[in-house]
Amino acid sequence: MNTTKIGKETTPLLELKNVTKVFGHTVALNEMNFTVCPGEIVGLIGSNGAGKSTLMKVITGVYSPTSGSITNEAKEVNAKQYNATEAKKRGIACAYQELSLCTNLNTYENFAISHMDHSPVGSRGWRKHALSFAQEKIDEIFPDSGIDLKMPVSSLKLAQRQMVEISKAASADGLKLLILDEPTSSLTSDRIEQLHASMRSLCKQGVAIIYISHKLDEIDRICDRITVMKAGANILSADMDEITPQQLIEIMGGKAAGQKAKAQERPDTPVVLQISHLETTALHDINLDVRQGEIVGISGLAGSGQKELLLAIFEAQRKKFQKTVTMSTRASFVSGDRNTEGVFPFWNIADNTLVSSYEQVSKRGVLLKQKMRTLAQFWYDKLKFRAAGIDDDITSLSGGNQQKALIARGICADAGIIILNDSTCGVDLETKQEIYHLLDEARSQGKTVIWHSTEDLEMEQCDRVVVMGGGSIIGVRVQLKQPIRAQLKSPN
């Protein structure tokens, strides 16, 4: 945990009092109170849909509050005149979870957008300066990132894009408040340590940081204070040394599950997936048998071939790799990158959930509307979506609830193998517990789950864990299935 302490006499950098934001009939913020002081890190947590993203957009000027007051450095801000440009002038920057990069531009051009001379003529040699500036800012936070600044952002891996997003926000002119929204969702442990070290350095310079994360171990390790949101309101603000991690879990609605019994070893259970000497440009001599009703974890350091293996399994049903990958059932694929590989943004919740299940709700090629609505409503009720109904746009849901829709899509599809590629990324603790329960249900129904996660603790949910390195399988561990305890360290 960061040991920097803020004296009670310190003037807040930013203070929100009784801020309410209403969208139609939806109250996104309900008399929200929030304070952050110079040189401190405030952790902001809450379930998906608690209002965290709306609060950030009010602070950054994207949304104007319906009511309430905003005070910046002891001076009240005119809410009607406060916008994104005004927030930038006040030194407020945000690295968004959904990423705000222009993917058609290269990395250094994304930096230049915020810093270059936008006059009609511009300045000579701006590209050379922008390239040097971007490299310097990325290296300050993520040394040896390996990012080619001249490549289009669209060609970067998700973790690299996240590093660019964070570095770009931290490079803002006159930075006084940096907001990090789920900044480590795609980062490896070494990159997380680099980020945290940079955050501590910024705090010593007087920069305030708002740190939004569902990873409570990181909140416990890096933050000075914590604010918990629920239903758009502040339900708790406390110093980190005044509250235990277990109390936070209980406040957020987390429940400690009992230990699960070890999966029954049934050598007579049929093999549904057999991989023999699979070779691709990224995979080397992969050999693996997976049985019906197993949950198999795919682990290892980032970039070791996990995603490539999952895609090879999924593509095998289209007769690709037919000499090396044999499947006796269909497979469904659920991605953690919901923006580019998941949701159909112009569709509603029902259609996003059922897009892989049309064979179940059709007859002779004709979709049966009532059958579609019945199945969509079943999953809507089962997953407890926070929306008005199945006809709501998928984009009206919070990120975590969108992810639940994708997982429901994978489970309700007529497939015997469910492939999950880091699909709980950015999902809150309570929602994760619901997802774990769904996977156990699918397993009990004879479905097989193949699951890659960047969170090592999630591998405790699996019957077997396959460890990868350099595109090869370097180990397989059979284990006792246990619940995810809390995704945080036990209090000392």
What pLDDT was estimated at residue 257? 41
DSSP strand pairing (464-469 vs 325-327): unpaired
Q: What pLDDT digit, counting tens, does each position of 317-360 carry?
A: 887 787 899 999 989 888 877 777 778 888 888 888 888 787 78
Given a contact cutoff of 8 angstroms between Cβ atoms, the answer to whether 185 and 425 are in contact is: yes
Q: Which homologous superfamily is 14-251 in?
A: P-loop containing nucleotide triphosphate hydrolases (3.40.50.300)
Q: How far apart are CA 336 and CA 421, in angstroms?
A: 6
Give the domain ranges of the chain.
14-251, 254-330+415-492, 341-414
What pLDDT was estimated at residue 7? 45
Residue 36 backbone dihedrals phi, psi, to 5 degrees: -140, 135
423 secondary structure, DSSP code: T
DSSP strand pairing (448-452 vs 295-300): parallel
**CATH tag for 254-330+415-492 (out of 3.40.50.2300, 3.40.50.300, 3.40.309.10, 3.40.50.150):** 3.40.50.300
What pLDDT was estimated at residue 443? 87
Residue 175 backbone dihedrals phi, psi, to 5 degrees: -60, 125
Terminal-to-terminal C-alpha distance of the chain: 13
Q: What pLDDT digit, counting tens, does each position of 409-441 carry?
A: 888 887 899 999 888 876 777 777 778 888 888
Continuous H helices in 321-473:
338-341, 349-354, 369-383, 399-412, 429-444
Half-sphere exposure (Cβ direction) of 387: Cα atoms closer than 13 Å = 24
What pLDDT was estimated at residue 122? 61
Q: How far apart are CA 303 and CA 306, in angstroms?
A: 7
What pLDDT was estimated at residue 118? 61
Q: Do domains 14-251 and 254-330+415-492 have the same CATH topology?
A: yes
Q: How far apart are CA 317 and CA 314, in angstroms?
A: 6
Given a contact cutoff of 8 angstroms between Cβ atoms, the answer to whether 17 and 201 are in contact is: no
For the entire predicted model, the pTM comes to 0.67
Position 263, amino acid: A
Q: To which residue do tokens 């957008």 refer?
A: 113
Which of 427, 422, 477, 408 lies closest to 450, judged by CA?
422
154 secondary structure, DSSP code: G
Given a contact cutoff of 8 angstroms between Cβ atoms, the answer to whether 223 and 216 are in contact is: no
Cβ neighbours of residue 371 closer than 8 Å, sequence gap 6 or more: 360, 361
Which of 90, 86, 93 lies closest to 111, judged by CA?
93
Compute how many other C-beta atoms are within 10 angstroms of the C-beta atom of residue 187: 21
Whether the CA torsion 110, 114, 119, 123 is positive or negative: it is negative
Residue 200 backbone dihedrals phi, psi, to 5 degrees: -65, -40
Q: 199: which 2 tokens?
A: 């955050």
Position 428, amino acid: D
DSSP strand pairing (177-181 vs 208-212): parallel
Given a contact cutoff of 8 angstroms between Cβ atoms, the answer to whether 22 and 184 are in contact is: no
The residues of the chain scoring below 70 in pLDDT are: 1-9, 116-123, 252-267, 426, 479-492
